[in-house]
Chains A and B, each alone.
Chain A
Amino acid sequence: MARTLINAPTTAKRGDVIEIRATIGHPMETGFRPGEDGKTLPRNIIQRFSCKYDGETVFSAELFSAVSANPYIAFHTVATDSGTLVLSWEGDNGFAQSESISLTVTA
């Protein structure tokens, strides 16, 4: 399990724009660098990040070799109903991780 740092509000008013910030610990090995033995290190990156708010995708991103290690992603969404936001990262070598945040929306 990779480590994550997630900053998101736990409560919001309906219609509020909320910001979600997420960092995940990942080497993001580019696939172009030589290792200590001179051979190219195999690529190991996160390829896709997505956020589902009550099952609906509200944000997604494709990541490539040029993205730094431990990628930090910040995005906004509109608070509509109380529910769960599921952040998921998928990448090379079957890497997959999900983190859930629950959001309470008041009228």
Chain B
Amino acid sequence: MTRIACLLSLLAFVLAGLAGAQTAPPKDSRRSGYDFMGASTQAMQKDDTLNPGMLWVKEGEVLWNQPAGASGKACASCHASAQSSMRGVAARYPAFDTTLGRPLALSQRINQCRQQHQQAAPLRAESQELLSLESFVALQSRGLPMAPPDDARLAPFRQRGEQLFTQRIGQLNLSCAQCHDGLAGGRLASSVIPQAHPTGYPVYRLEWQAMGSLQRRLRGCMSGVRAEPFAYGAQELVELELYLNARAKGMPLESPGVRP
């Protein structure tokens, strides 16, 4: 008899607990890739004197002040101090470019500035210089919430990005969503599958032993499912970036991130 009473009280306790969970305010279940990493990799990202990404940031600061191209202008000639002029910029890119009529990623915007205003040759995608400038600009938004622009002209591009995210591709016939929405937190071999929030880009990836852009990461996943990756700067990659940023809206920017 006492055992039944005991079980009943336990049941009542569990039910009360469930009811309590239902009435609690909905919590943000989104987690940055940072939360999925080991303690040592987290420590590496947190400390600027340990974070190898800061090597690129330092290089970027030098390039920011260095004149380039026929105009003899440096980034700093127009934008002055990046600390104030570039604050929040990385949090809102990709943004719509009115003259081109399509969205541009941050690295493409930097190259556009180089060509139009500095009259210099564009920097090669994934080159050390471009990644350095991009990470220096991104650092100025560290800690700010991701703020994808509320621009109606971006909507169709973002929609196409979402469609690409859910589209099965490659010989393995997998979509991004199947792993990063459906199986996030699980494991692919020994690696934890994160939720694919691009909060730390450009990141220093231990596997690459170098800094890399979000486009490089996306291309890596594409060849992972045995699909033909889109070329750097391809419209599709920018559309995916747009969708991912909208998905991570409000999460704090961490650049330069460190990822395993």
Contact = CB atoms under 8 A, between A and B. Distances in A.
A3 interface: yes
B155 interface: no
B209 A5 contact: no
Contacts of B49: 5-7, 21, 23
B55 A25 contact: yes
A59 interface: no
Contact of A72 (B48, B50, B59): B50
B207 to A, nearest CB: 11
A72 B54 CA distance: 13
A5 B210 contact: no
B58 interface: yes
Q: How many interface residues does chain B have, given as a range?
A: 10 to 19
Interface in B19-74: 47-52, 54-55, 58-59
Interface in B131-169: none
Contacts, number: 36
B125 to A, nearest CB: 16
A69 interface: yes
Contact of B54 (A5, A21, A68): A5
Contact of A70 (B48, B52, B59): B52
Contacts of B54: 5
Nearest to B208: A69
A77 B127 CA distance: 38
Instruction: Report which residue of A4, A5, A25, A72 has the largest number of chain B beta carbons within 10 angstroms of its beta carbon.
Output: A5
Contacts of A23: 49-50, 52, 55
A69 B55 CA distance: 12
B201 to A, nearest CB: 18
Nearest to A23: B52
Contacts of B210: 69-70
A6 B54 CA distance: 11
Interface string A90-105: 0000000000000000
Contacts of A3: 55, 58-59
Given A7-B49, A21-B49, A68 B209 contact: yes
Those 4 A-B pairs whose CB atoms lie nearest each other, nearest first: A7-B49, A69-B209, A25-B55, A3-B55
